């Protein structure tokens, strides 16, 4: 099982790299959105899965990255990937003081506090005239979907690599310790504030970097499109469905969800939302810990018997 994983991963990456050469417009868009959602789910999984701070507002950093990129491209005429990188750095820079304040909250208070924070950032962006207010911003055309796709794929692979590292590192252990019991972790010498803020920063950097690509993908951005609570919640559900705080949870959850959602959308556009919501509820009752831990438990039982 373990031995097969490396060649399998290499094959998958090669296929993903070659995909734009073979696929038509619709398929490449679908692939882009899939990779984007999975990358967002990986970003969210660090602060919420490993550190246990459930955030409903990481999309704020995605929106900040998107707007920063759009403003830099429109006003300073940078190459968009450089602008998107700057957007990611800005998101990280904002996340550190914000995390310092917000991470004092816990449980549902943190979750909803972050939701409120994201809404506030959205409203503030809307209120600033430079962003075109609520009516949005047009980006110059020119960068195709292929470039955006490679950028997003690179970040997604980076996020997976980061998660693999976190899962094996002392930093990851510190996060899990504070997830299980913050006071005990602090007593044992974990610098909880520092660990939390680092995790929060990483969970802001990833959506911050992705936002720029999304702005280019849309070519026209407005607050509701980039501060999309639907995109946010979708990535959260992917991570939970796959398995909270696991390395492969966001990937498996993301693949399962995008497949289901695409199949349903094609067949039942009228009652799509209803089936989607119902399915989520059923899956959660059937697999409360997520797909990856459930599979792991099954394999463990089989090899034990």
Partner 1 sequence: MILLQLAINGVLLGGVLALSALGFNIVFGVMRVVNLAHGDFVVLAAVFAAFGFAQFGVNPLLLLPLTIVAGFAAGALIHHVLLRRLPGEVASAEASSLTLTFGLSYFLTGAGLAAFGGRFVSVPYLTGAFRVGEVSVPQARLLAFVVAVVLSLGFALLLRSTALGRAIRATSQNLDGALACGVDVDRVRTLAFAIGTAVATAAGTLMSFLYNLNAQQGVLFTVNAFAVVVIGGLGNYTGAVIGALILGLTESFASYFMGATLAEAAPYLLFILVLLFAPGGLRGRRAA
Q: In sequence order, what DSSP letters do the residues of 241-275 get, joined into one string?
A: HH-TT-SSHHHHHHHHHHHHHHHHHHH-TTTHHHH
Residues 195-234 that bind partner 1 (CB under 8 A): 229, 233
Helices (H), the chain: 2-22, 25-44, 59-76, 80-102, 107-127, 145-168, 170-180, 182-187, 192-218, 223-226, 229-242, 249-267, 272-286, 291-304
Stretch that binds partner 1, among 85-93, 123-131, 139-147, 211-219 (CB under 8 A): 123-131
CB of 270 to partner 1, least distance (A): 6
The angle at the Cα of 164, spanning 160 to 169, to the nearest 5 degrees, equals 140
For residues 91-106, one letter each, b for 16 or more C-beta atoms within 10 angstroms of the residue's C-beta and e for the rest, the string is bbebbeebbeebbeee
Q: Please identify, using beta-carbon distances, which residue of 104 and 298 lies nearer to partner 1.
A: 104
Report the residue from 13, 18, 120, 263 that binds partner 1 according to the rule CB under 8 A: 120
Q: Is 124 in the site for partner 1 (CB under 8 A)?
A: yes
What would the two tokens of residue 184 be?
């005990």
Residue 239 contacts residue 41 (beta carbons within 8 Å): yes
**Interface characters, 72-111, with partner 1 (x: CB under 8 A):** -----------------------------x--xx-xxx-x
CB of 232 to partner 1, least distance (A): 11
Q: Is 112 in the site for partner 1 (CB under 8 A)?
A: yes
Residues 56-75 that bind partner 1 (CB under 8 A): none
The C-alpha atoms of residue 17 and residue 257 are separated, in whole angstroms, by 22
Residue 223 contacts residue 125 (beta carbons within 8 Å): yes
CB of 33 to partner 1, least distance (A): 18
Q: Are strands 137-138 and 220-221 parallel, antiparallel or unpaired?
A: antiparallel
Residues 31-50 that bind partner 1 (CB under 8 A): 48
Stretch that binds partner 1, among 17-25, 27-35, 114-122, 145-153 (CB under 8 A): 114-122
CB of 215 to partner 1, least distance (A): 21
Q: Is 4 in the site for partner 1 (CB under 8 A)?
A: no
Q: Is 271 in the site for partner 1 (CB under 8 A)?
A: yes
The C-alpha atoms of residue 92 and residue 106 are separated, in whole angstroms, by 21
Stretch that binds partner 1, among 14-22, 76-84, 136-144, 239-247 (CB under 8 A): 239-247
Q: Is 256 in the site for partner 1 (CB under 8 A)?
A: no
Residue 68 contacts residue 272 (beta carbons within 8 Å): no
Q: Is 281 in the site for partner 1 (CB under 8 A)?
A: yes
Residues 283-302 that bind partner 1 (CB under 8 A): 284-285, 288-289
The angle at the Cα of 294, spanning 293 to 298, to the nearest 5 degrees, equals 115
The C-alpha atoms of residue 197 and residue 235 are separated, in whole angstroms, by 21
Q: Is 275 in the site for partner 1 (CB under 8 A)?
A: yes
Give contact residues for partner 1 (rule: CB under 8 A).
48, 52, 54, 101, 104-105, 107-109, 111-113, 115-117, 119-120, 123-124, 126-127, 133-134, 179-180, 229, 233, 236-237, 240-241, 244, 270-281, 284-285, 288-289
């Amino acid at each position: 099982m373990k031995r097969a994983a490396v060649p399998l991963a290499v094959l998958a990456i090669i296929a993903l790299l070659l995909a734009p050469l073979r696929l038509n417009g619709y398929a490449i868009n679908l692939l882009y959105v899939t990779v984007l959602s999975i990358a967002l789910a990986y970003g969210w999984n660090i602060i919420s899965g490993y550190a246990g701070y459930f955030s409903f507002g990481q999309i704020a950093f995605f929106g900040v990255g998107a707007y920063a990129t759009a403003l830099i491209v429109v006003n300073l005429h940078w190459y968009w990937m450089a602008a998107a990188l700057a957007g990611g750095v800005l998101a990280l820079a904002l996340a550190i003081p914000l995390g310092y304040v917000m991470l004092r909250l816990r449980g549902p208070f943190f979750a909803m506090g972050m939701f409120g924070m994201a809404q506030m950032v959205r409203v503030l962006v809307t209120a600033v005239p430079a962003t075109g207010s609520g009516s949005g911003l047009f980006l110059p055309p020119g960068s195709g979907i292929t470039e955006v796709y490679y950028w997003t794929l690179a970040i997604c692979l980076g996020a997976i690599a980061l998660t693999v590292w976190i899962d094996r590192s002392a930093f990851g252990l510190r996060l899990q310790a504070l997830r299980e019991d913050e006071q005990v972790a602090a007593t044992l010498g974990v610098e909880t504030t520092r660990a939390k803020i680092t995790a929060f920063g990483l969970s802001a950097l990833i959506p911050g970097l992705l936002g720029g690509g999304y702005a280019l993908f849309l070519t026209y951005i407005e607050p509701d499109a980039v501060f999309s609570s639907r995109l946010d919640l979708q990535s959260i559900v992917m991570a939970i469905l796959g398995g909270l705080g696991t390395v492969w949870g966001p990937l498996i959850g993301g693949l399962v969800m995008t497949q289901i959602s695409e199949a349903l959308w094609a067949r039942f556009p009228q009652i799509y939302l209803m089936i989607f919501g119902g399915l989520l509820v059923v899956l959660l009752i059937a697999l409360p810990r997520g797909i990856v831990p459930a599979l792991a438990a099954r394999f463990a039982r089989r090899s034990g018997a």
